[in-house]
Chain A
Amino acid sequence: MVEVKNVSKAFGNHVVLDDVSVNINKGENLVLFGRSGTGKSVLLKCIVRLLDPDKGEIFVDGQNVLEMEGEALIELRKQVGFLFQSGALYDSMTVRENLEFPLIRNFNFTASERLEKVKTALHNVGLEKSINKMPSELSGGMRKRIALARTIISEPKLILYDEPTTGLDPITVKEISELIVELQKDLNITSLVVTHDLICAKIISDHAVVLKDAKIIYRGNLDELTASDDPFLKDFFSMEPSGTMKY
């Protein structure tokens, strides 16, 4: 579904991705770990061309993303969902308008069909009653859920999650992670999830990849990863404060 081949990206002299290659199969949930500032979000943004890599190739559903322009790129983006860390809800619109926005512009649904879809999406995230609320009236967890509803309402084939559970309490983390898995199963969505959250990763991941110093240093399943003897991985996944993080 997604093939990232030898992608490099630098901002000035700061290299954030160096010859990175990742494959995600159809229907798979891949979790991407790494310390803050190691280029995880940059990789997600390169996949949807919010950023252009300096080098390498990216294929989504067999199409070379970096060669796409104009309408072709817009068509591709309609098939890809992106859940931003902040939710990125349109703060001048109500929840209903937020969810209807991509439907009005990208599809030819009637008003009643749109409303039905909005209600279903809100039901999926358990927030039917918030339909007429403004984003400013929602809590952090609710915003994330609404953002998730907006992402899935267009029924994308691929969803890129940028830290979907950051800043949430453990119960909400669990709820949102389970929701992601549920949606992935129901709608057969392929997911690439950037997270630091082990609870979230344990619930979601089929496979995991770790980025360090702009390179991928590990790929495999999460259990092997957490049991690894590698000092960096040990420190990264350790819940105890070691005070010796040297990486």
Chain B
Amino acid sequence: MAQSSRENIEDLDLETKPSDFIQKLNNFFEIIAELSLFSIRFFKNVFIPPYEFGEIKTHMVFLGVKTLPIVSVTGFIIGLVLAMQSQPVMQRFGAESFLPTMVSLSVVRELGPVLTALIFAGRVSSGIGAELGSMRVTEQIDAMEVSGINPFRFLVVTRIIACALILPILTMYVNFLAIIGGFIAIFLSTGINFELYIDSVFKALSFSDLIPGTAKTIFFGFIVGVVGAYKGYNATNGTAGVGEASTSSVVLSSLLILIVDMVLVKITVWLWAV
């Protein structure tokens, strides 16, 4: 029995061969190309009436409410932990008074937008993938199509717009909670006055911190919507396909958020020279 298990383990090809790596890279670029085509289809459809404002509003409320509890907890803890971790180091360098500045800049420029987007991807991209995937495999999308309704416009365009619009709002909310969390941590260790803390925060922040940090979440929201919708809309193989659409949307959208963040940070630094 033990020998058979060992043989089974030996049979497993745990090493990634160079050809496998090239194949995976090839698949990744293939998906990126397909996502680009899907995005082009989105832009072709987005300006064509009828405009489904009611649907967009419904999705925004639903996605916002769905994500609110988890992003609230995360936002508060980010600020709290960031201040708690940084306080001893800043104290060692005699820069304790810069803690509010550090917390607010870190949160508004990077941590708030990226962490909110990653949590949003986990909650929403998988949900969109599963919902549209299940509609695809149960022929609901086909039923819409044969009744003379454009399912892409009704199901996909509305969800992508809702994601791109709601994520910046969630990000601002998370930033606010993180700054409050930071205050609590600093107050407990240094007894800082709330007015002084807020004054330091606002002195440290400028539009060149706030606008790029928040604006990039429109792109992140777009990515979450496009990836979830693409995976769900093209789901095949029944319920297994729905599961695959759901999980792979989270992985792919999270990866793309990090890659796009890297590019956007570079562009922001170049444009604002900060």
Name A's B-contacting residues (CB within 8 A): 45, 48, 50, 74-75, 77-78, 80-82, 84-86, 88-91, 101-102, 105-106, 150, 154
Flag B131-156 by CB within 8 Å of A: 1 or 0 each.
00011001110111111111000100
Q: Is the CB of A50 within 8 A of B142?
A: yes
B69: Cβ under 8 A from any A Cβ: no
Q: Which of A50, A77, A88, A89 contacts B148 (CB 8 A)?
A: A77
Q: Which of B134, B145, B146, B148 contacts A75 (CB 8 A)?
A: B148
Do B140 and A106 have beta carbons less than 8 Å apart?
no
The reply to whether A77 and B147 contact each other, CB–CB distance below 8 Å, is yes
Count how many chain B residues have C-beta atoms less than 8 Å from C-beta atoms of the other chain.
Answer: 16
B154 to chain A, nearest CB (A): 8
Contacts of B135 in A (CB 8 A): 90
Number of CB contacts from chain A to chain B under 8 A? 56
Tell which of A74, A82, A85, A88 touches B140, judged by Cβ atoms closer than 8 Å: A88
Q: How far is the CB of A29 from chain B (nearest CB, A)?
A: 19
Give the CA-CA distance A90 to B147 in the complex, in Å.
Answer: 13
Interface of A is mostly: mixed
Q: Say if the beta carbon of B18 comes within 8 Å of chain A.
A: no
CB pair A90 B148 closer than 8 Å: no
Q: Which 8 A-B pairs have the closest CB atoms?
A: A78-B148, A88-B143, A88-B139, A82-B146, A77-B148, A102-B147, A74-B148, A84-B139
A84 contacts B142, C-beta separation under 8 Å:
yes
Q: A77 is contacted by which of B134, B138, B140, B145 (Cβ under 8 Å)?
A: B145
In the assembled complex, how far is the CB of residue B81 from the closest CB belonging to chain A, in whole angstroms? 38
- List, in ascending order, chain A residues with CB within 8 A of B154's CB: 105
Q: Is the CB of A88 within 8 A of B138?
A: yes
Nearest-Cβ distance from residue B227 to partner chain A, whole angstroms: 21
Contact of A106 among B142, B143, B145, B147 (CB under 8 A): B147
When chains A and B are docked, how far (Å) is the Cα of A243 from the Cα of B19? 50
**Given A88-B138, A91-B140, A101:B149 Cβ within 8 A:** yes
Interfacial chain A residues near B140, Cβ < 8 Å = 88-91
Is A48 touching B146 in the complex (CB atoms < 8 A)? yes
Give the most central of B135, B139, B144: most A CB within 10 Å. Answer: B139
Inter-chain contacts of A82 with B (CB < 8 A): 142-143, 146-147
Are A105 and B146 in contact (CB-based, < 8 A)?
Answer: no
Contact status B149-A80, CB under 8 Å: no
Contacts of B146 in A (CB 8 A): 48, 50, 77, 80-82
Chain A residue nearest to B131 in the complex (CB):
A92
Give the nearest-CB partner of B146 in chain A.
A82
In Å, the complex CA distance between A85 and B140 comes to 11
Chain B residue numbers with a CB within 8 Å of A84 are: 139, 142-143
- Distance between B152 CB and nearest chain A CB, rounded to angstroms: 12
Which residues of the other chain, A, contact B145 by a CB distance below 8 angstroms?
50, 77
Q: Are A78 and B143 within 8 A (Cβ)?
A: no
CA–CA, A81 and B154, complex, Å: 20
A101 to B151, CA, bound (A): 12
How many Å from the CB of B134 to the closest CB on chain A? 8
Interface: B50 (CB within 8 A): yes
Distance between B223 CB and nearest chain A CB, rounded to angstroms: 24
Q: CA A75 – CA B150 in complex, angstroms?
A: 11
Tell me the complex Cα distance, A71–B202, Å. Answer: 54
A80 and B142 alpha carbons, distance in the complex (Å): 13
CB pair A74 B143 closer than 8 Å: no
The reply to whether B149 and A105 form a contact with Cβ atoms under 8 Å apart is yes
The CA of A153 and the CA of B146, in the complex, are separated in Å by 14
Partner of A105, one of B50, B138, B143: B50
Specify which chain B residues have a CB less than 8 angstroms from the CB of A80 in the assembled complex.
146
Among B50, B142, B143, the one with the most A-chain Cβ atoms within 10 Å of its Cβ is B143
Q: Determine the chain B residues whose CB is within 8 A of the CB of A90 once the complex forms.
A: 135, 140, 143-144
* A74 vs B152: C-alpha distance when bound (angstroms): 13
CA distance A88 to B142 in the complex (A): 8
A-B contact pairs, 24 of them (CB 8 A): A45-B142, A48-B146, A74-B148, A77-B145, A77-B147, A77-B148, A78-B148, A81-B146, A84-B142, A84-B143, A85-B139, A86-B138, A88-B142, A88-B143, A89-B143, A90-B140, A90-B143, A91-B134, A91-B140, A101-B147, A101-B149, A105-B50, A105-B154, A106-B147
For the complex with contacts A91-B138, A102-B147, 8 further pairs of A-B residues with Cβ separation under 8 Å are A50-B146, A74-B150, A78-B148, A80-B146, A88-B139, A101-B147, A102-B149, A105-B50
